Amino acid sequence: MRTRRIIYTLVFLAVSIPLLLRWTARVQPSPPVEMAYQAIEALQPGDLVLVGVDFGPSTMPEMNPMYEAILEHLFRKGAKVAILSLQSALDLPNGVQVLEKVARRHNKVYGEDYANLGYKPGLEAVIVSIGQEIRDVFPEDALGNPLDSLPMFQNVHNYDDIALIIDLASGGTYGSWIQFAQARYGAKLITGVTAVMGPETYPYIQSKQLVGMLAGLKGAAEYETLIQRPGLGSRGMPAQAMVHILIILMILYGNWRFWERWQR
């Protein structure tokens, strides 16, 4: 028990010292993040992008930095951003807060440049319905405004009119977007996932079903490097690196002690 408490203390110090001293670390963007960046970079002003906010408070430290970095890039490119959630309505209050913060920074107007479509249960059924007519499932936005009254949705009916879909997911929603929006309707899709989900997402990059992918805080830090705006992701990287070094040292120490005992 005593050893365990020493380890907890070391981990706490490894996280808090870099945060307190505001250390920074250089991050090299990985190919999937670079691909996501290029896909957004290729957008034209006025293109509509659907952003799925499918992560809740439990994964906010990982997901919020990438969400903010992506929104920053989208608004810089002059894209129209519509957020929605197909996982849980609880995901949206945070999603709206971050969206409005970034929109304010770029002087964007609700309804013209960005909108909140709200939450809709039924995941796969909703994704398939958007392929036919978005108004069938979202006749109004989250504030009750008819979709036709929002200038950014004029002439937008289905995936043919949506330039890009970005699903930021802490669960399986991104899989449904791949299976139905991408495979059935050929929609272009980027996903941002928690680090735990990172390895299971890589095959979709290989199969070109995703045009880009960000995984965890590291993915966010890489994206922040690409848009040259260090944020929460970049600030967390030194602490992350410190804990990784600590874990590696502890594994080596544990193995060395084990080997020493085995020798005796």
Partner 1 sequence: MATVIGIWLAALLTLAIFSFLYGDNPFYKAAEHLYVGVSAAFWLLYIWSFTVAPNLLVGIQKQGLLGKDLLLIPLVLGILMLFRIVPKYAWYSRYPMAFAVGLGAGLALTGTTQGLLFPQIQATILHPFHSINNFLLILGVITSLLYFYFSREREGVMGWVARIGIYFIMIAFGATFGYTVMARVSLLIGRVGFLLSDWLHLM
Query: Which positions lie near partner 1, rule CB under 8 A?
Result: 1, 4-5, 8, 11-12, 15-16, 19-20, 22, 58-62, 89-90, 119, 121, 124-125, 175-176, 178-180, 182-184, 194-196, 198-200, 203, 206-209, 215-218, 232, 235-236, 239-240, 243-244, 247
Q: Please, what is the minimum distance in Å from the beta carbon of residue 19 to partner 1?
A: 6
Task: Please enumerate in sequence order all residues whose Cβ is within 8 A of that of 55, keeping only pairs 6 or more positions apart, or say none.
Answer: 62, 63, 67, 87, 91, 168, 169, 170, 171, 194
Q: Are 59 and 66 in contact (CB under 8 A)?
A: no
Contact 57, 98 (CB under 8 A): no
Closer CB to partner 1, 28 or 206, in the complex: 206
Smallest gap from residue 150 Cβ to partner 1 (A): 19
Do residues 45 and 112 lie in contact, with contact meaning Cβ atoms separated by under 8 Å?
A: no
By beta-carbon proximity to partner 1, the closer residue of 113 and 141 is 141
Nearer to partner 1, 46 or 121 (CB): 121
- Beta carbon nearer to partner 1, 196 or 252: 196
Return d(Cα 84, Cα 70) in angstroms, integer: 15
- Least distance to partner 1 from the beta carbon of 63, Å? 9
* Minimal distance, residue 196 CB to partner 1, in Å: 4
Q: Which is nearer to partner 1, 75 or 87 (CB)?
A: 87
Residue 33 CB, nearest approach to partner 1 (Å): 14
Closest alpha carbon to 219 in 168, 163, 256, 184? 168
